[in-house]
Amino acid sequence: MTEDDAIVYVIDDDEAIREALNGLLRSVGLKMLGFSAPREFLAYHRADTPSCLVLDVRLPGASGLEFQRELANARERIPIIFITGHGDIPMSVRAMKAGAVEFLTKPFRDQDLLDAIQSALTRDRAWREQERSLADLRGRLDLLTERERQVMAILVQGQLNKQIGAVLGTTESTVKAHRAQIMRKMQATTLADLIRMAHRLQFGEEEAA
Amino acid sequence: MPSRSAENLELPFSRGLPAALPPYALALLLVGLALAATLALQTVFVGRPPMFPFFAAVAAAAWFGGRGPGYLASTLALPLGLYFYAASRPDHGLHIRDLLLFLFFGSCAFVGGALNARRQVAEDGLRKAHDALQIKAAELQHSNEALIAEMAERRRTQESLEHTRNELAKVSRLTTMAEMAASIAHEINQPLTAVVTNADTCVRWLAKPDIDEAREAAQRVVRDAEHAAQVVARVRAMVRHALAERTPVSLPTCLDEVLSLLQPVLAKQAVVLRQDIAPDLPIIPGDRIQLQQVFFNLITNALESLSQVTDRVCEIMISAQRTAENTIKIVLRDNGEGFAEDVLPRLFDSFITTKPHGMGMGLAICRGIVEAHGGTLVASPADPSGAQFTITLPTGGETP
């Protein structure tokens, strides 16, 4: 079921429920870590692996919904599945609008929870993949010299080598050499490829600004 | 106001036309009339002219005008009368006897008139006093009406206040109950969730099969189910504990307090209350408030049922007797709508109600309280219509 070491975090003040969920997730080969309060969860240093959070709405101290907002404000991005004993529609609408994956009413069926966890982990994997490739691209961008960055900024706007040379006050052959370096360092095969990378890095905008 | 009082006033000798003239002019006019009458009658009573027109003029002037005009009329009438009298005598002389007689009658007329004038003044005063009294009476009546209106207003305010207070009590009772129910529901739902999840897990392990893991999950099912049962037991114990407060309770006093509380409703619905409370009821150990709750609920139910009745006199009968076997038997009966046969077996179940807005908790609570006191609560149809509730309570000695 799992090709990576995904972790399901559970925050519920009821130990019996944490234990039951731990048993269920172990039966499908998922690793689970339980916390009795949001405070404990925040204090824990999470591993950099795909993960999701199963959150009880009714918690000691702040409610689960408040904690969801807190996490969002702190830019802690983790998919959340709410479980609640007394959910009402406005509550679930609020949770879903704030980006929750699922809103389950206790007692829930195992398959409903497992499906929700799967989709949450899939979402987190996609986020992580995106994050990783973006970080990778940033690393490549960092390899460029100052001159090469200047050339690239004009290049991704669709200008020809000759025009770039005129703008920067160099010869067309120098620009051509820079351009080859840029394509190599950015691992771009075509100009379209490079433009797409620049777009993802918001490179053009930042240079223009 | 005064004009209305004057109309109401019917006094004899009230001033009519003469009042329109100044009193002295009236005196002159009367003397003039007397003179004219004497002259006119002179031809009829030859030899002895009548003196009565002058006496009448003096009397009338004093009568209507008071003392001053009386004097004036006397002063004028005396010489005139004497003149006519003397003129009628053959010797044109005055006999001292006749003069004295004349003066006597004149004085009598004057005094009579003056006295009458006095009486008029007194009557005037009386009339004024009467008027003032009438005004005062009208004012008093007015303030009395205002007072009655104020009292009615006050009663209405009181009623609305009472209504509000009752509503508030009902709402707060429901809120407390709802909160308690929500809390209990949560307490039970938590272990129930664990049970469901563990059972699902158990099934998953059995399918693999991994008997050890399955057994572990099954053991968790048992443990969590026991936990849920403990919650239920705790709630039961809590209810029992709430009933554990036992003090000596006088049932008649207990009933009286409830009835006085419900008195406005009884009066409003014109319900005839018949009581047959034995004077020698023993004091029993119990929770006064809880027992009052029972009476209150049962009587309120009866009143609600009676509110539908229009074709007969509404009655509630309450009797309390000491029975042989150390118990008190209390019977509450009404001649209201009663209950359908099919409801009877489930009457005391929670959430069974025949009321449009009822919770169906009242009778369940009543039976719970009575049973916690070691007693019984039984319902039966009353004859020919209505409901009868019979409560038996032990008189103490044995513990419930």
The three-state (H, E, C) secondary structure of chain A, written as one string: CCCCCCEEEEECCCHHHHHHHHHHHHHCCCEEEEECCHHHHHHCCCCCCCEEEEEECCCCCCCHHHHHHHHHHCCCCCCEEEEECCCCHHHHHHHHHCCCCEEEECCCCHHHHHHHHHHHHHHHHHHHHHHHHHHHHHHHHHCCCHHHHHHHHHHCCCCCHHHHHHHHCCCHHHHHHHHHHHHHHCCCCCHHHHHHHHHHCCHHHHHHC
- ipTM of model: 0.77
Q: Please judge whether A85 and B185 are an interchain contact, meaning their C-beta atoms are less than 8 angstroms apart.
A: yes
Predicted pLDDT at B13: 44
State the Cα–Cα distance between residues B302 and B314, nearest whole angstrom: 10
Residue type, B343: V
Predicted pLDDT at B262: 84
Predicted pLDDT at B15: 46
Tell me the CA end-to-end span of chain A in Å, nearest whole number.
47
State the Cα–Cα distance between residues A35 and A16, nearest whole angstrom: 12
pLDDT of B121-159, one tens digit each?
A: 888 899 999 999 999 999 999 999 999 999 999 988 888
Q: Indicate whether B394 pLDDT > 70.
A: yes
Which candidate from A26, A28, A107 shows the least CB-CB separation from B196?
Answer: A107
Contact B354, B343 (CB under 8 A): yes
CATH number of A143-208: 1.10.10.10
Domains A7-131 and A143-208 share a fold: no
User: Which is more confident, B5 or B157?
Assistant: B157
The pLDDT mean for chain B works out to 80
Q: Indicate whether B331 pLDDT > 70.
A: yes
pLDDT of A151-178, one tens digit each?
A: 999 998 888 888 999 988 989 899 999 9
Q: Indicate whether A209 pLDDT > 50.
A: no
Within its chain, how far is the Cα of B55 from the centroid? 67
Residues 213-242, chain B, touching A (beta carbon < 8 A): 213, 216-217, 220, 223-224, 227
Q: Where are the domains of chain A?
A: 7-131, 143-208
pLDDT of B275-326, one tens digit each?
A: 998 888 888 888 888 888 889 888 888 888 888 888 888 899 999 998 877 8
Residue of B193, B195, B202 to mutate, interface with A, max A Cβ within 10 Å: B193
Identify the CA nearest to A7 among candidates A100, A95, A125: A125
Q: How many CB pairs under 8 A join A and B?
A: 75
Residues in A touching B197 (Cβ below 8 Å): 17, 20-21, 23-24, 107-108, 110, 113
SS3 category, B349 = coil
Output the pTM of the full model.
Answer: 0.51
Contact B200, A25 (CB under 8 A): no
Q: Indicate whether B396 pLDDT > 80.
A: no
SS3 category, B209 = coil
What fold, for A7-131? Rossmann fold (3.40.50)
Tell me the CA end-to-end span of chain B in Å, nearest whole number.
77
Residues in B touching A107 (Cβ below 8 Å): 189, 192-193, 195-197
Q: Which strands sit side by side in the sheet containing B315-323, from one edge to the other?
A: B272-277, B315-323, B327-334, B387-394, B376-381
Q: Please judge whether A110 and B194 are an interchain contact, meaning their C-beta atoms are less than 8 angstroms apart.
A: no
User: Which is more confident, B52 or A178?
Assistant: A178
Q: Please judge whether B194 and A14 are an interchain contact, meaning their C-beta atoms are less than 8 angstroms apart.
A: yes
Predicted pLDDT at B242: 64
Q: Indicate whether A31 pLDDT > 80.
A: yes
